[in-house]
Structure 1
Amino acid sequence: MARLFPNDIGTRPSGKLLFEEVHPNYNEVYYIPPDVALAEAGLDPAKAESYKKGILDINGQNDYVTIIPINTLPTHKDFLQGKYADLLSITLDGFGYGGAKTEDEVIDLLENLPSCFVKDYDYGLGLRKDYRFIVDILEDLNIQTLVISKKDSTSIDEKGTICTIKYSDFEQIRKTIDRITREARQVSSEVKKISAHNVLAFFLEDETKYPHKDIRKQDGTLARLIAKSSPVLPVHLSKVEQSAAIDLVSSNKSKMAKDQPEALVKLRNDIDLVTLEKLVQTYEEMLAKKLSEDRWQALFNENPFILNMAFGCPIIKIQDQAYVGGRKISGSGEKIADFLVKNSLSNNAALIEIKTPSTSLLNKTSYRDGVYVASKDLSGSLNQVLDQRLKFQQNIFAIKNNSKLYAMETYHVQGFLIVGTMPTEDDKIKSFELFRGNSKDITIITFDELLEKLKHLHAFLSPNLMEKN
């Protein structure tokens, strides 16, 4: 009889087969474990026949063989019980095996089973380990009986407990699994070699003689997936793989939150850190260019948490390009604030006006020695916010009613002006700080100050800093 692992382990003691004829050319085959297996399992070898278990129904008349998979390992907790949780039997229909009423005939029949089957009853009949995924899929569907048929097409019965798979379809599944297994073993071997090389190269500390190796691009997705288990191999996903990974996490986020909350929090933190790093880079690039107000408004609209950096309290964005009143009977004169926000705890409203980094803050020439006056653009912007605030307070009841925004208050409406960049000369810095420090009710923040706040946040969240602390 062919053994499952003839070259790797010693031959197990053979059990016995017991035949019961149901009718001519139809036999039920029972397995009786060897005495040594029964003893190892804590069972009485003297009662061996009482432990018999049906493992085969061989019906030569109707041309089918039914396999009943059981556990035959004496140390297994489910010794002589079903091999699978829900799948009870596997039937081969229309294979022309004929009948079998002796042990030799059963052995011959088993030798002719498809290659994916265990062919030694002492090792428990059923599908080989590489094909356990087929069983997993069927059990996910609550299938109890698998029929592999050369007569019928692939289907599931009305009760949903019997799955018939056409033999050609089953072979396609088997070949697909075989191909993946073959490729996985080949690629796994390559990844192990490269990993061993990289670890050795790290200790030798000679990049010239022992350069670091990477997974070759042509090794494809499978190589990169296997390489993920090696900390010494960088893995670069394609855009398609990135999208698939994002979709996978998104569709499983609730289960991950329940099963692996710490891992999900770490993933979220890592993503937040990378997103923040990219935002800092984008902000720096925009700051180096002369861009319009619209571009900056779009950036803040897409990343409203930047506006939080301007506040000393948590805020919620209510509306960008918000109407705050001032419309005349002619329809002109309406006031539009770039952003309407509110304190997330008190609901107190605030208005934010966005200018550009290139907006001048001070006049180019000094008013007196060491004293610079606020520029027309800065003072005009300041008055613009004050006017918006006035109109907003005057029209708040109509705005709340028309917009159905009742959870918004005007206890003390703050105004925020994001404008220009910090001067570099000491006298100009002093003049600017004096001006904005005495600007009642309106907080003035420069674009480069917001950038510094973002950088400090990124530095605070970075793992290296966390480890040092």
Structure 2
Amino acid sequence: MALGFRQHDPARDGTLEVEEVHPNFVEVYFVPPEHSLRAANLDPKKAKQYRTKLLDINGQHRFLTIYPINTFGDKSDFLKPKYGQVERITLDDTHIVFSGFDEAVPTEAEGVLDVLEKLPSAFTKDYAYGLGLAKPYRFIIDAVEELSASREIVIASDQLTGPDAKDAQIFYISKQDFEQARRALNSIDNLAQTAARAVKETTAHNIIAERLGVPKLEPKAGRHPYRKLFTAVAQGKEELSEEDQNAVIGALSSHAASIAEEHPEKLAKLRGDIELVTLEALIKRYEEMLGENLAEGRWQDFFNENPFILNMAFGYPVIKVRDQASVGGRKLSGDGEKITDFLVKNSLTNNTAIFEIKTPQTAILNKTPFRDGVFTPSADLSGSINQALDQKYQFQKQIAQIKDNTRLYDIESYAVHCCLVIGRAPDGDDRKKSFELFRRNSKDVEIVTFDELLEKLRQLSVFLRVADAPQKAKD
């Protein structure tokens, strides 16, 4: 007699009853043990009444059908189907299962145990656990339930994977596809275990190493993408690689039109999430740059990559015309005498504006007061204002020639606005008062500090989060 994974104890595991429906075809039932019936508040003396079908074994047509059920009495779905939708799993043309029986099916419980022991390795073989797919392969069931309305899975050698053309209740999985899925899931489990082991070993090593003052180690992530991902997750890191990010962006781009048509609200939500995450990453980068002593060129590059920040500083919709624009030469791209950091235009009126970018470290007030409580603008601030005004003058003087030579006719110089991004907001009430009095009287050049721009970004992030909160509550 086959023992399967263990010797069965009827008092612990229940028993099997085999009924021969007709020659070479039997139905196998599970009779629950008394302790399970008591746990389910059922009469243990009526065990026979609660027997539930486990198997159909058809030797003539060579198939075996499993009815996965829950066999634990303390569960609410006791003796009910184990899965949400799929009720049966059929193995068609099961040569392995029937080998040794000369085309005849077993009519006794011992023979049934032998059949169960010969089930493919992806299946639970112990009837006390309700049969069906072993837990690591439950994802195959989940996939079928998600992708179809079928209640029966048939694994067959001569069928293509997909719903039956005549009966939507049946979903075929080719033996080849089933084996491919089984091997892939096994591989993922192995990679996850290897990654977890590597992280555990490194973690233990690093705790001791830190106490001893010796260098720490990074866990070996291996070359397989899944193992890299599992290692990152095990470490608490879930960042996508550039390759993975490109794959996600590519997939989204490819299906954006269909998503917009079929699920516009989901696309809008996704766009909002992406914008918020992008904004938060931008804020983090801005904060890091503020902590460094960077040259003007680095900040010009930053605003060139993120021109929408200039929109917030400017106060109305703008389009960047050109960075490092020549406003005193014949062309915007030429070697003019006057170069502005950014030339932008109002997207509605085409009126232009000039941006000058300095650094957060640039002083905006003199260190010593001119009178008690009164501080004068620094030479850097005064010089930067005059620089911007001179660029404005040169641009307005050359605008006609620039438009003709550049063939850029949709820019105007009705009232060229100048914006200066410089320094940090001063500390102290007197210095703050002096700065505000000065810049509010600077009608031709708008002055914005670097930390004020950062605060605007933070306020935008808070606004987006608050606006998103009601939607998440509904979801």
Relative to the length of structure 1, the TM-score reads: 0.65
Distance 1:276 1:247 in 2: 27
Q: Does 1:137 align with 2:143?
A: yes
Tell me the CA shift for residue 193 of structure 1. 1.7
Q: 1:286 to 1:378 in 2, by over 3 A?
A: closer
Cα distance between partner residues in 2 of 1:69 and 1:257: 41
More deviation, 453-462/233-242 = 453-462
Superposed CA deviations along residues 311-345 of structure 1, whole A, max 9, x for unmatched, are 5xxx34243449xxxxxxxxxxxxxx932348xxx
Distance 1:303 1:316, change over 3 A: farther
Tell me which residue corresponds to 1:429: none
Task: Say yes or no: does 1:188 pair with 2:187.
Answer: no
The CA deviation string for residues 399-418 of structure 1, in whole angstroms up to 9 with x for no partner, is xxx99xxxxxx9xx782244
Letter of the aligned partner of 2:200 in structure 1? K
Give the letter aligned to residue 415 of structure 1. Answer: H
Q: Give the aligned partner of residue 183 of structure 2.
A: 175
Moved more, 117-126 or 163-172: 163-172
Q: How far is 1:264 from its partner?
A: 8.6
Q: What does residue range 20-419 of structure 1 map to in structure 2 within 5 Å? A: 20-96=19-95, 97=98, 98=103, 99-142=105-148, 143-158=150-165, 159-202=167-210, 205-208=211-214, 211-218=215-222, 220-231=224-235, 238-244=241-247, 267=277, 270-276=280-286, 284-285=294-295, 287=297, 300=303, 302-308=305-311, 310-311=313-314, 315-321=315-321, 338-341=343-346, 351-354=352-355, 378-383=388-393, 415-418=417-420
Amino acid paired to 2:133? L
Q: Is the 8 A contact 2:421 2:450 kept in 1?
A: no
- Measured at CA, do residues 53 and 245 of structure 1 come closer, stay the same or move farther in structure 2, by a change above 3 Å? same
Offset at residue 117 of structure 1 (A): 0.6
Segments of 5+ residues of structure 1 without an aligned counterpart are: 290-295, 323-336, 359-370, 390-401, 404-409, 423-432, 463-469
Distance verdict in 2 for CA 1:10–1:213, change over 3 Å? farther
How far apart are 1:192 and its partner, in Å? Answer: 1.5
Tell whether the 8 Å contact from 2:14 to 2:30 is kept in structure 1 after alignment. yes
CA distance in 1, matches of 2:392, 2:119: 86
| Contact 2:354–2:392, Cα closer than 8 Å, also in 1 | no
Amino acid at match of 1:443: V
| Structure 2 unmatched ranges of 5 or more | 323-341, 360-377, 400-408, 425-434, 462-475
**CA–CA distance in structure 1, aligned partners of residues 111 and 440 of structure 2:** 102
Q: What one-letter code is carried by the residue in structure 1 that aligns with 2:158?
A: K
| Contact 2:422-2:449 within 8 A present in 1 as well | no
**Equivalent residue number for residue 327 of structure 1:** none
What is the distance in 1 between the residues matched to 2:390 and 2:275?
46
Work out whether residues 91 and 147 of structure 1, in 8 Å CA contact, stay in contact via their aligned partners in 2: yes
Q: How far apart, in 2, do the equivalents of 1:48 and 1:132 lie?
A: 29
Counterparts in 2 of 1:13 and 1:341: CA distance versus 1, 3 Å:
same
Task: Read off the aligned partner of 1:241 and give its amino acid letter.
Answer: D
Q: Is the contact between residue 153 and residue 171 of structure 2 (CA under 8 Å) also seen in structure 1?
A: yes
CA shift, 1:31, in A, is: 1.2
1:59-95 CA distance string (max 9 Å, x none): 1111100001000011111000000001110001111
Distance 2:207 2:460 in 1: 30
Task: Report the Cα distance in structure 2 between the residues aligned to 1:256 and 1:317, rounded to whole angstroms.
Answer: 25
Q: Secondary structure at the match of 1:92?
A: strand
Deviations 1:15-52 (A, max 9, x none): 22223333211112111111221112211012111111
Q: What is aligned with 2:366?
A: none
Q: 2:445 aligns with which of 436, 443, 446?
A: 443
Aligned-partner SS, 1:178: helix
Q: Is the 8 A contact 2:151 2:170 kept in 1?
A: yes
8 Å CA contact 1:385, 1:415 repeated in 2:
no
Question: Residue 363 of structure 1 aligns with which residue?
Answer: none
- CA deviation after TM superposition for structure 1 residue 283, in Å: 11
Give 1:340's aligned amino acid: K
Change (3 A) 1:339 1:267: closer
Q: CA deviation at 1:113?
A: 0.6
Aligned-partner residue type, residue 164 of structure 2 = D
Q: Which amino acid aligns with 2:232?
A: K
Is the CA contact (8 Å cut-off) linking 1:382 and 1:442 kept in structure 2?
no
Identical pairs, percent: 31
Q: Which amino acid aligns with 1:287?
A: G
Indicate if the aligned counterparts of 2:195 and 2:231 stay in contact, CA closer than 8 A: no
User: Structure 2 CA distance, aligned partners of 1:235 and 1:75?
Assistant: 37
Q: For the Cα contact (< 8 Å) 1:227–1:235, is it kept in 2?
A: no
Aligned to 1:109, the other structure's residue is in SS state: helix
In angstroms, what is the RMSD of aligned CA positions?
A: 4.9
Q: State whether residues 66 and 90 of structure 1, in contact with CA within 8 Å, keep that contact through their aligned partners in structure 2.
A: yes
Quote the Cα distance in structure 2 between the aligned partners of 1:77 and 1:35: 17
SS of corresponding position for 1:353: strand
Q: Tell me how far apart the structure 2 counterparts of residues 43 and 255 of structure 1 sit (CA, whole Å).
A: 47
In structure 2, C-alpha distance between the alignment counterparts of 1:105 and 1:65, rounded to whole Å: 14
May I ask how many residue pairs the two structures share in their alignment?
A: 381
Normalized against structure 2, the TM-score is what?
Answer: 0.64
